[in-house]
Chain A
Amino acid sequence: MQKAHDLKEYRDELRESLDNDFLRTTLDNFAIAYRAGRANAFKDMDVRSLINDIAESKDIAGKNADKLFRDFKRNAEAAGIHVHFAKDGAEANAIIAKIAKDTGCKKIVKSKSMTAEETLLNHDLEDEGLEVTETDLGEWIIQLRHEGPSHMVMPAIHLSRYQVGELFTEVTGKEQDAEIEKLVKVARRELRQKYIEADMGITGANFAVAETGGIGLVTNEGNARLVSTLPRVHVALMGLDKLLPSLHDALRILKALPRNATGQQITSYVTWITGANECLSAEDGKKEIHYVMLDNGRSELVNDPLFSQVNRCVRCGACANVCPVYRLVGGHKMGHIYIGAIGLILTYFFHGKDKAKNLVQNCINCEACKDVCAGGIDLPRLIKDIHARIQDEDGHPLPSMLLGKVLKNRKLFHTLLRAAKWGQKPVAEKDGFIRHLPMIFSKEHSFRALPTIAEKPFRDWWKENKIKVKNPKHRVALFSGCVQDFVYPEQMQAAVELFQNNEVSMTYPMEQSCCGLPVQMMGEMKASKDVAIQNLRAFETDAYDYIITLCASCAAHLKHNYPKLVADNPRLKAKAEEFASKVIDYSSFVNDVLKVEASAFTKTGEKATYHAPCHLCRGLDVHEAPRELIEKGGLEYVECTEEEVCCGFGGTFSMKFPELSAELLNKKLNNVEATGADTLLTDCPGCIMQLRGGLKARDSHVKVKHVSEVLAKNKK
Chain B
Amino acid sequence: MSSKDSLCQKFTEKAELVSAFVTTIKTEDEALDYTINLCDKKQACQLLVSGCEEGLSDKAGELCETKQTKVIAAPGLKKTLYKELAAKSEKAGFNCIDSGMRDLLAGIDIGFTYAEYGIADTGTLMLDCPGEELRLSTMISEFHVCVLPTSKIKANTYEVEKMMLTRMKKTPDYMAYITGASRTADIERVLALGVHGPLELHILLLEDD
A interface footprint on B180-201 (CB within 8 Å = 1, 0 otherwise): 1111111111101011111000
Give A547 to B131 CA distance when docked, in angstroms: 67
User: Judging by beta carbons under 8 Å apart, are B180 and A186 in contact?
Assistant: no
A interface footprint on B40-82 (CB within 8 Å = 1, 0 otherwise): 0000000001111111111111011000000000000000000
* Distance of B186 from chain A, by nearest CB (Å): 4
User: Judging by beta carbons under 8 Å apart, are A225 and B186 in contact?
Assistant: no
A135 proximal to B (CB < 8 A): yes
A33, A157, A189: which contacts B54 (Cβ < 8 A)?
A189
B111 proximal to A (CB < 8 A): no
* Most chain A beta-carbon neighbours within 10 Å: one of B51, B107, B140, B188: B188
CB neighbours of B184 from chain A (8 A): 137-138, 184, 220-221
Give A184 to B186 CA distance when docked, in angstroms: 9
B22 proximal to A (CB < 8 A): no
A599 proximal to B (CB < 8 A): no
Instruction: Please tell me the number of chain A residues within 8 Å of chain B, measured between CB atoms.
Output: 80
B interface footprint on A120-160 (CB within 8 Å = 1, 0 otherwise): 00000000000000011110010000000000001111011
Give A387 to B188 CA distance when docked, in angstroms: 34
B132 proximal to A (CB < 8 A): yes
User: Judging by beta carbons under 8 Å apart, are A266 and B179 in contact?
Assistant: yes
Given A265-B14, A278-B132, are A271 and B175 neighbors across the interface (CB < 8 Å)? yes
Given A141-B186, A267-B179, A268-B18, are A223 and B196 neighbors across the interface (CB < 8 Å)? yes
User: Judging by beta carbons under 8 Å apart, are B55 and A80 in contact?
Assistant: no
User: Judging by beta carbons under 8 Å apart, are A221 and B187 in contact?
Assistant: no
Give A139's nearest chain B residue, CB to CB. Answer: B186
* Distance of B130 from chain A, by nearest CB (Å): 6
Give A228 to B176 CA distance when docked, in angstroms: 12
CB neighbours of A275 from chain B (8 A): 171-173
B106 proximal to A (CB < 8 A): yes
Surface stretch bound by A, among B30-38, B90-98, B147-155, B157-165: B157-165
Surface stretch bound by B, among A175-183, A527-535, A661-669, A701-709: A175-183
* Distance of A452 from chain B, by nearest CB (Å): 46
User: Judging by beta carbons under 8 Å apart, are B176 and A272 in contact?
Assistant: yes
B168 proximal to A (CB < 8 A): yes
B105 proximal to A (CB < 8 A): yes
Give A222 to B168 CA distance when docked, in angstroms: 21
User: Judging by beta carbons under 8 Å apart, are B176 and A225 in contact?
Assistant: yes
Given A30-B189, A190-B60, A214-B168, are A221 and B182 neighbors across the interface (CB < 8 Å)? yes
User: Judging by beta carbons under 8 Å apart, are A266 and B132 in contact?
Assistant: no
User: Judging by beta carbons under 8 Å apart, are B189 and A212 in contact?
Assistant: no
Looking at chain B's contact residues, is the secondary structure mostly helix, strand, loop, or mixed? loop
User: Judging by beta carbons under 8 Å apart, are B132 and A272 in contact?
Assistant: no
B106, B157, B171, B188: which contacts A254 (Cβ < 8 A)?
B157
A226 proximal to B (CB < 8 A): yes
User: Judging by beta carbons under 8 Å apart, are A268 and B179 in contact?
Assistant: yes
Give A278 to B102 CA distance when docked, in angstroms: 13
User: Judging by beta carbons under 8 Å apart, are B171 and A80 in contact?
Assistant: yes
User: Judging by beta carbons under 8 Å apart, are A229 and B132 in contact?
Assistant: yes
* Most chain B beta-carbon neighbours within 10 Å: one of A156, A255, A273: A273
* Distance of A47 from chain B, by nearest CB (Å): 15
CB neighbours of B198 from chain A (8 A): 222
CB neighbours of A646 from chain B (8 A): none
Surface stretch bound by B, among A4-12, A192-200, A613-621, A630-638: A192-200
Give A173 to B132 CA distance when docked, in angstroms: 34
User: Judging by beta carbons under 8 Å apart, are B173 and A277 in contact?
Assistant: yes
* Distance of A170 from chain B, by nearest CB (Å): 10
Given A223-B196, A226-B139, are A266 and B122 neighbors across the interface (CB < 8 Å)? yes
Give A29's nearest chain B residue, CB to CB. Answer: B189
B49, B60, B174: which contacts A272 (Cβ < 8 A)?
B174
Given A188-B51, A192-B63, are A79 and B172 neighbors across the interface (CB < 8 Å)? yes
* Distance of B116 from chain A, by nearest CB (Å): 12
B25 proximal to A (CB < 8 A): no
User: Judging by beta carbons under 8 Å apart, are A220 and B57 in contact?
Assistant: no
Give A78 to B130 CA distance when docked, in angstroms: 17
User: Judging by beta carbons under 8 Å apart, are A220 and B182 in contact?
Assistant: yes
Give A29 to B188 CA distance when docked, in angstroms: 10
CB neighbours of A467 from chain B (8 A): none
Given A192-B63, A265-B122, A266-B179, are A185 and B51 neighbors across the interface (CB < 8 Å)? yes
* Most chain B beta-carbon neighbours within 10 Å: one of A171, A213, A264: A264
Docked complex: A265-286 residues within 8 A CB-CB of B:
265-281, 286
B136 proximal to A (CB < 8 A): yes
Given A172-B56, A268-B181, are A274 and B50 neighbors across the interface (CB < 8 Å)? no
B interface footprint on A219-248 (CB within 8 Å = 1, 0 otherwise): 011110110111000000000000000011
* Distance of B36 from chain A, by nearest CB (Å): 25
User: Judging by beta carbons under 8 Å apart, are B172 and A80 in contact?
Assistant: yes
Given A172-B55, A221-B183, A266-B177, are A274 and B172 neighbors across the interface (CB < 8 Å)? yes
User: Judging by beta carbons under 8 Å apart, are B188 and A160 in contact?
Assistant: yes
Give A183's nearest chain B residue, CB to CB. Answer: B187
* Distance of B198 from chain A, by nearest CB (Å): 8
B124 proximal to A (CB < 8 A): yes
* Most chain B beta-carbon neighbours within 10 Å: one of A26, A160, A172, A281: A172
CB neighbours of A221 from chain B (8 A): 182-184, 195-197
User: Judging by beta carbons under 8 Å apart, are B58 and A188 in contact?
Assistant: no
User: Judging by beta carbons under 8 Å apart, are A195 and B195 in contact?
Assistant: no
Give A212 to B169 CA distance when docked, in angstroms: 6
Give A225 to B141 CA distance when docked, in angstroms: 13
Docked complex: A525-572 residues within 8 A CB-CB of B:
none
Given A265-B14, A269-B197, A271-B175, are A184 and B187 neighbors across the interface (CB < 8 Å)? yes
* Most chain B beta-carbon neighbours within 10 Å: one of A172, A176, A189, A267: A189
A420 proximal to B (CB < 8 A): no
User: Judging by beta carbons under 8 Å apart, are B187 and A156 in contact?
Assistant: yes
B135 proximal to A (CB < 8 A): yes
A164 proximal to B (CB < 8 A): yes
B55, B59, B174, B178: which contacts A268 (Cβ < 8 A)?
B178
User: Judging by beta carbons under 8 Å apart, are A248 and B58 in contact?
Assistant: no
User: Judging by beta carbons under 8 Å apart, are B57 and A155 in contact?
Assistant: no
A513 proximal to B (CB < 8 A): no
CB neighbours of B105 from chain A (8 A): 192, 195-196, 230
Give A248 to B160 CA distance when docked, in angstroms: 10
* Distance of A106 from chain B, by nearest CB (Å): 16
Given A221-B196, A269-B176, A275-B171, are A190 and B165 neighbors across the interface (CB < 8 Å)? no
B interface footprint on A273-301 (CB within 8 Å = 1, 0 otherwise): 11111111100001000000000000000
Give A676 to B123 CA distance when docked, in angstroms: 44
* Most chain B beta-carbon neighbours within 10 Å: one of A184, A251, A273: A184
A191 proximal to B (CB < 8 A): yes
A1 proximal to B (CB < 8 A): no
CB neighbours of B176 from chain A (8 A): 225, 269-272
CB neighbours of B17 from chain A (8 A): 265
CB neighbours of B131 from chain A (8 A): 278
Give A291 to B182 CA distance when docked, in angstroms: 26
Q: List 20 A-B contacts (CB under 8 A).
A: A79-B172, A138-B186, A156-B186, A156-B187, A157-B189, A161-B190, A189-B49, A189-B63, A192-B107, A214-B168, A221-B182, A230-B102, A251-B157, A268-B180, A268-B181, A269-B177, A269-B178, A274-B168, A274-B174, A277-B174
Given pairs A180-B188, A221-B197, 16 additional interface contacts (CB within 8 A): A160-B188, A183-B187, A184-B192, A187-B195, A188-B51, A189-B50, A191-B196, A192-B105, A193-B63, A221-B195, A225-B139, A229-B132, A229-B135, A269-B179, A274-B175, A278-B132
Closest 4 CB pairs of A and B: A275-B172, A222-B197, A275-B171, A174-B55
Q: Which residues of chain A have a CB within 8 Å of any CB of chain B?
A: 26, 29-30, 33, 78-80, 135-138, 141, 154-157, 159-161, 164, 171-176, 180-193, 195-196, 211-214, 220-223, 225-226, 228-230, 247-248, 251, 254-255, 262, 264-281, 286
Q: Which residues of chain B have a CB within 8 Å of any CB of chain A?
A: 14, 17-18, 49-61, 63-64, 102, 105-107, 121-124, 130-133, 135-136, 139-140, 157-158, 161, 164-165, 168-169, 171-190, 192, 194-198
